[in-house]
Amino acid sequence: MKTLVLSTLSIGVLALSASQISAQTVTIDPSALTLGYMNWQPTAYTLANFPGDGGTGSSAWGAAALQANFSGTTLTIQPNVNTYTPGNAYWNNPDGTGANQMDANFYNETTGVYVNTTLTFTFDVVANTLSAPYNSIAFIKDFTSSYSSSTESSIALTSGIETISLTTSANAGDHIQYGFETFGPDTDPASAAALESVVITPVTAVPEPATWAWAGSGSLLLVSMFRRRNK
């Protein structure tokens, strides 16, 4: 009987420990957030959707081209100016406005790292002064191994500490991405400053005291039960 109770105690403690191992927190880090990808599609130009009004596309981009740049550990995100080309009907409308809606992704990607994990992404939005129609979100995405589908958790960037979580699948071949996504038309570099930016800094990740306390109290309860059964 003592052996059975001791085995039960060991299993209980292991289960509590496993629940901690399967929860991880990430924050913004210049060495981790290094990947850039841009998607674009035509804007709805008012002149009967001018035939030269952009075209759907996507490509890997550098962070600077996205307008997502680190200074130390502070990240600043701004609207895209990389494609502004006066006289080029693919990128600019006849009135000089951007011919495409840009979807700029600045992120980290891992495969086989966060498996069956409650992944939490936390950061501090120092300021978000982006002007309409520009907006930026934070996301965690879990893509299948073929990138054919995904699940996502996202949040709009507002001032203050923000936290989002996603429980990833048990498939080790999934690709997990977390980072920031910024939407809005490509624009003239001369007007970019007036459109403002989002400024983000890291939040130091620490274990959640309440959760650890719960795990510890659970272990003590099991030990107490074991001692009473064997008096």
Report the pLDDT value the prediction gives residue 150, as an integer from 0 to 100.
Answer: 97
Alpha helical stretches, state H, the chain? 2-21, 63-66, 189-192, 209-229
Report the pLDDT value the prediction gives residue 195, as an integer from 0 to 100.
Answer: 85
Report the pLDDT value the prediction gives residue 53, as an integer from 0 to 100.
Answer: 57
Report the pLDDT value the prediction gives residue 101, as an integer from 0 to 100.
Answer: 93
CA 37, CA 139: separation in Å to the nearest integer?
14
Report the pLDDT value the prediction gives residue 147, as an integer from 0 to 100.
Answer: 96
Report the pLDDT value the prediction gives residue 75, as an integer from 0 to 100.
Answer: 98
Report the pLDDT value the prediction gives residue 45, as an integer from 0 to 100.
Answer: 55
Report the pLDDT value the prediction gives residue 96, as an integer from 0 to 100.
Answer: 85
pTM here?
Answer: 0.78
Report the pLDDT value the prediction gives residue 56, as an integer from 0 to 100.
Answer: 87
The alpha carbon torsion through 111, 114, 116, 118 (nearest 10 deg) reads -140
Report the pLDDT value the prediction gives residue 208, as an integer from 0 to 100.
Answer: 52
Tell me, what DSSP letter sits at residue 193?
G
Report the pLDDT value the prediction gives residue 95, as an integer from 0 to 100.
Answer: 84
Beta bridge partners of 136: 182
Going residue by residue through the chain, which has 231 residues, state the pLDDT in tens, using 9 for 90 and above.
Answer: 444 443 443 444 444 444 444 899 999 999 999 999 999 998 765 544 444 556 789 999 999 999 999 999 999 999 999 999 988 988 988 888 888 999 999 999 999 999 999 999 999 999 999 988 899 999 999 999 999 999 999 999 999 999 999 999 999 999 999 999 999 999 999 887 788 999 999 997 444 544 444 444 444 443 444 444 455
| Alpha-carbon radius of gyration of the chain | 24
Report the pLDDT value the prediction gives residue 44, as an integer from 0 to 100.
Answer: 67
Query: Helices 209-229 and 2-21 sit at what angle, rounded to 10 degrees?
Result: 180
Report the pLDDT value the prediction gives residue 124, as an integer from 0 to 100.
Answer: 98
Write out the two tokens for 31: 């060495």
CA 199, CA 139: separation in Å to the nearest integer?
16
